[in-house]
Each structure stands twice: as C-alpha cells, then as structure tokens.
Structure 1
Amino acid sequence: MPEGHTIHRLAARMNSVFGGQLLEVSSPQGRFSRGALLLNGRRLVFAQAFGKQLHMHFAAPENHDDVLVMRSHLGLYGKWTFAGDEQFESLATADNPRRRADRVAADDGHGRARDEHGWVVPEAARGAIRVRLRGKHGWADLRGPTECRVETVSEAAAALKRLGPDPLDPDETGGLFVARAGRSARPIAALLMEQQVIAGVGNIYRAESLFRQKVDPFLPGNQAGEEVLRGLWTENRELLKIGVRLGRIVTTDQADRPRIPDERAWPEHANYVYKRAGKPCRHCQTPVEVTEMVGRTLYWCPTCQAPGT
C-alpha cells in the first residue's frame, strides 16, 4: 500500500500538471459516472495530501465559491498514471517519479494527436479506469482505489477530523499523536498502523521507525511514555520527508551503507528490518523476526528492540 510520502508527491504532481485548469472528468469504467458528471468542466484549484488520502478541490468555472472535493484513497492496489505531450510529460516527471502508485506512462509525448480545440487526444481507455482527468496537454487515469468520492468542502473536512495527525503537516507538533497513542493499551506497532492515531504511516515506516528508535513493537501505547512517543513522531516525520525527496522509502543511515548514496540504496540497502526476515540485523547480527499484527507482517530485531532497551 502506498504510504504517506507517495500521496504527498502525487498531490504535488497534480498541482503541477493540472493546477488552475478546466478539466474534463470521466469514468471509463462507469463506477464513478455520477461523480465525474459533478466534476466535469470544473477547474482544479489545488490538490492536497492528508496521510494516505488525496483531496482535489474543483471550483465551478464561473463561481469560485462553488467547490467540490474529490477525495480518494489508493488502498493496496490503486494507482494513478499520467501521459500527454512533451510539456505535460516534462512537468509530470519533474520529481523523477519511481513508477509506483503514481507511475508515469512510458511515452516520449511526441506526435500526440490533438482535437479541434488543440487538446491532446488521450489513448483509448484500457482496463478498469475509475477516473480520467483530461487537460489540454495530457491526462491522468486512476485505477483500483479503495475509495473515490465527491464531497462538499464541509464533508471532506469532516472526513479529515477522523484522521490522526500527518507527520508531513508542518503545523502538526505531534501532541495529538502522543495523546491518542498514550491512552491506548494496544501495542505501539498496532497503533502506528491506525490512521486515526497517525496518518500516512504504513507497514514499512512502522517497522523501520520502531527499529531506529529501538522500541519494542509489543510495548503498549499507554506504557510507552511521552519521550518514546515523541521520538517515534519525529522519526516518522524525518523518514517521510526523505521518502518525498527520493520517491522511495530509504530508512538506513549513510554510516550503515558506506559509499552507497541515498539515491542508490533501494532496494538492497534501503531498510533495516523490513522484508529481511531471518537475515542478520544490520546492527547486532541477530536474525530479524516476523509476526502478523493488524493484518500485516511486522519485522523487528529481538535484540535491538528487546523490552526495556
């Protein structure tokens, strides 16, 4: 499942390729036909990420106060793809995307056909495309999201209130995370996966932040203490920032991979414990252990993260 850094990169790309434009919105698959009808012909004011949710604000062309929000969550299988002319492709690939949930379609953008209005003609829809956004210079297709709906601004705001704080939000201090996690008896590794406790952290950041902070994943939240919880908040914020910059989840320090820069660390040298079951811990050589928690595989070092460490 794409984690928070991917959605923040996706929001930036949407703003870059479509921001301020009147868009055609359709649903080739048909499952979003009603929503597409509500949004078609509106202007994308801005896109913004909140944890793993993408909120795209569309204003009516002649009334900027008439705004609707397309709120989506990619889930395990959702992804956006982008394609268009040379100008569009240049903007869409400006952050050197890594072709995950938001991979850019492989096309050089040259020789695109245009309609009578000068808009690039998109390729015929293939597969189950839930939403297609089309601008003058290109288009974006959404496939397989867990959730995609049109809401009023107030409805979208209400959905946000159900989320925990996003570590990538510069206005968040971590206090709400500390309060919510600190009153729960559930293991801290389970709490890090609950989006109402902390938004944007997924299975990889969970395992890696716990390892880096040397926290026992089975430690109950209400026994962790403020220092431990604030350490996890800060750790996830910094790791997510690296993810936004690189487009990959790289959690290892340079000292643990000499002469291998961040940009070349993935996948072999990218993480400490994630997907390293049975392999020696990079710090103490103890085999990395695994178990299932909240439906996902949890990885940890039983020595570095032993209770009381």
Structure 2
Amino acid sequence: MPEGHSVHRIARQFTRNFVGRQIHASSPQGRFAEGAAVLDGRETLRAMAVGKQMFLEFEGDTWLRVHLGLYGAWDFAGEILVDPTIAAANGRMGQTNQRGTVLDAEAAVLDEAGENSLTSIGAPRRARVHVRMSEQTSPLADDDAEWPPPVVGQVRLRLLTESTCADLRGPTACVLQTPDEMLATVAKLGPDPLVGDPAEGEERFVAAVRRKPTAIALLLMDQAVVSGIGNVYRAEMLFRARLDPHTPGRDVPEEIVRALWSDWVALLSIGVETGQMMTMDGLSPEGYRAAMASRDDRHWVYHRAGLPCRVCGTEIALEEIGARKLYWCPSCQR
C-alpha cells in the first residue's frame, strides 16, 4: 500500500497537469461509469492529499475521493509538465513505486526495480520541460505515437486532458462526494504534517496517543490517529525512537510521542522530495547514493528479519501485529 509521501506526490502531479483544465472522464472498465459521466467535461479545480487518500475537486461542488489501498495505482501518460518541485516519472504511481524519469539519464541512480530514485516525481528540478511518457516504463519513441494511449487492463477511471492521461486501476475507493461529505471524510482522519497547521497536528497526535491503551505499533498505523504512516515508516520510526513497539500509547512518555511526530514531519518531507522512504541518516554522499540505489540499504530494520541490527548486532525480529508484519530490534527497542 502506498504510504503518505506517494499520495502527496500524486496530488502534486495532478495539480501540475490537471488543475485549471477541462477533463474528459470515462470508465473503460465500466465500474465507475456513472461517476465518470458526472465528471466528464468539468474543470479540475484542486488536488490534495490527506494521508493515504487523495481528493480532486471539480467545478460544480463535486469532489472525487480516491484511496488506492493495497492494489490501486495511477498510470500517467502523455505530456508531463515538470517544475522545481515535481519531476516526471515513467509509468505507475501507487501500488508499485514510481519509475525514473528519462531526464538526466547520465546521473540516474537505478535501484533493483529500475527506479531512478533521484529524479522521480516530486524530486527537485531546475527547469520546466515536457516529457512524453508511455504506459510502460520507457518514453514514447516520437510525437506520432497513438493518442490517447490505448486502454490496457482494467481501468476504473481515465482522466484525460488535451495532452495528459491518468488511468486509475484497482483502488479501494473511487467515489464522488459533495463538499460536506469530503470535509466529513477528512475530519475522520488523523493529522497530516503537510495539511493544516503542523503545531495543531502535533497536539492532536499527542492527545490521541496518550489516551489510548493500544500498542504504539498499532496506533502509528491507525489513520484516525495519524495520517499517512504505513508499515515501512512505522517500523523505522519506532526503531529511530528506540521504542518497544508493544508499549501502550498512554505509557509512552510525552516527549517521545512529540519526537515521533517531529520524525514523521521530517521523514514525510524527505519522502515527498525524493520519492523514497529514506529512513537512514548521517550517511556519506557515497552511502546516500548507494542507499537510494538499493532498497535494502535505506532502512534500519524494515525487511531485515534475521539480519543483525545495524547498531547492536542483535537479530532483527519479525512478528505479525494487526495483520501486518512488524520488524524491530529486541535489544535496541527495550
């Protein structure tokens, strides 16, 4: 499931390519045909993310709420506009990671999945350019390629401008909402550092954690407590705080709860900027490039079950909690 940084990056891509433009909406799969008919011909007014959910506002007091869930993904094709805070990526955003852009290929740092970590969507760019991308992960050969691109697979919703196409596949939720319904949905979500006042978000987070007997490992994954944290960030934040994941929220000292929020603020910003869940710090430039090129080198404990802790050498433990895998160090996190 994409974590919060990915959804913010997707929202930024929609802001750049769709906001202010009239769209043609369709549901090739047919499961969202009525909703697509409502959206068809309307102008996109706003795109925003709150945690793992994205909201697109259209003229006529209409919002589209999308929750990608475990299997959802957005595929972008066509002319992708790039600016200093949003870079173009080939292919899919969501259920799989963003692929690298064709720009600055000589400086690319590709991981084992072929992802160009340093130049994917959301990474800093020096100039605005237009890049034509394909449904796959390589650029279209020329401007004469078929437009709009052919529908491939089960596309729940296609949003199309004169030059950019976004295909939505396999989401957990794809629904139209009124403004009041959208606000009610957001009100049920925990604070997101990139939405609203971070100081107010911190107070909400601290209050929610400190009154609950639930294990902190479960609270960090509860989207009503804090928005956007998933399995990777959960494991890494608990290790960085040297916090036993089984500790009841109400027993976690307030200063540590506040430190968790500050760490989430920092890690989310890094994720949005780089497109990667980079959770190791203090790396040399060479170490940083190596970590960006290998997912196994980006994290302290995540996906390292049975391997020695990078700090103390203790074997990293793996257990299931809340139907999700939890990685942690039994020695450092006591």
TM (norm. structure 1) is 0.89
2:154 to 112, 128, 140: 128
The structure with higher relative contact order (CA 8 Å, sep 6+) is 2
Gaps of 5+ in 1: 60-65, 114-119
Aligned to 1:95: 87
Once residues 208 and 242 of structure 1 are traced to their aligned partners in structure 2, the CA distance between those partners, rounded to angstroms, is 14
Aligned to 1:25: 25
Once residues 196 and 184 of structure 2 are traced to their aligned partners in structure 1, the CA distance between those partners, rounded to angstroms, is 20
- Count of residues in Structure 1 that have an aligned counterpart in Structure 2: 290
Deviation above 4 Å: which 4+ runs of structure 1?
A: none
Equivalent residues of 1:214, 1:304 under 8 A apart: yes
2:295 to 251, 260, 267: 267
Amino acid at match of 2:80: E
Note closer, same or farther for the CA distance 1:262–1:44 as it changes in structure 2 (3 Å cut).
farther
Query: Alpha carbon RMSD of aligned pairs, Å?
Result: 2.0
Amino acid at match of 1:89: I
Once residues 108 and 97 of structure 1 are traced to their aligned partners in structure 2, the CA distance between those partners, rounded to angstroms, is 10
Once residues 96 and 304 of structure 1 are traced to their aligned partners in structure 2, the CA distance between those partners, rounded to angstroms, is 39
> Can you list the C-alpha shifts for 1:205-251, whole angstroms capped at 9, x where unaligned?
00000000111100000111211111111111111111111101110
Q: Shift in Å at residue 167 of structure 1?
A: 2.4
Equivalent residues of 2:70, 2:172 under 8 A apart: yes
Note closer, same or farther for the CA distance 1:258–1:282 as it changes in structure 2 (3 Å cut).
farther
Please list, as runs of the form range in 1=range in 2, the aligned pairs for 1:187-198 lying within 5 A after superposition. Answer: 187-198=215-226
Q: Shift in Å at residue 94 of structure 1?
A: 4.7
Tell me whether 142-151 or 120-129 shows the greater mean CA deviation. Answer: 120-129
1:72 to 57, 60, 66: 66
TM (norm. structure 2) is 0.82
Aligned to 2:11: 11
Please list, as runs of the form range in 1=range in 2, the aligned pairs for 1:1-309 lying within 5 A after superposition. Answer: 1-59=1-59, 66-84=60-78, 88-91=79-82, 94-97=86-89, 99-101=92-94, 105=135, 106-109=137-140, 110-112=142-144, 121-169=147-195, 171-173=197-199, 174-255=202-283, 259-261=286-288, 264-265=291-292, 266-306=294-334
Report the secondary structure of 2:38's partner residue: helix
Equivalent residues of 1:89, 1:108 under 8 A apart: no
Report the secondary structure of 2:295's partner residue: coil
Gaps of 5+ in 2: 100-132
Note closer, same or farther for the CA distance 1:112–1:32 as it changes in structure 2 (3 Å cut).
farther
Equivalent residues of 1:186, 1:221 under 8 A apart: yes
Aligned identity (percent) is 43
Once residues 261 and 151 of structure 2 are traced to their aligned partners in structure 1, the CA distance between those partners, rounded to angstroms, is 42
Report the secondary structure of 2:75's partner residue: strand
Amino acid at match of 1:69: W
Note closer, same or farther for the CA distance 1:269–1:187 as it changes in structure 2 (3 Å cut).
same
Equivalent residues of 1:192, 1:201 under 8 A apart: yes
Once residues 193 and 290 of structure 2 are traced to their aligned partners in structure 1, the CA distance between those partners, rounded to angstroms, is 23
Q: Shift in Å at residue 258 of structure 1?
A: 6.8
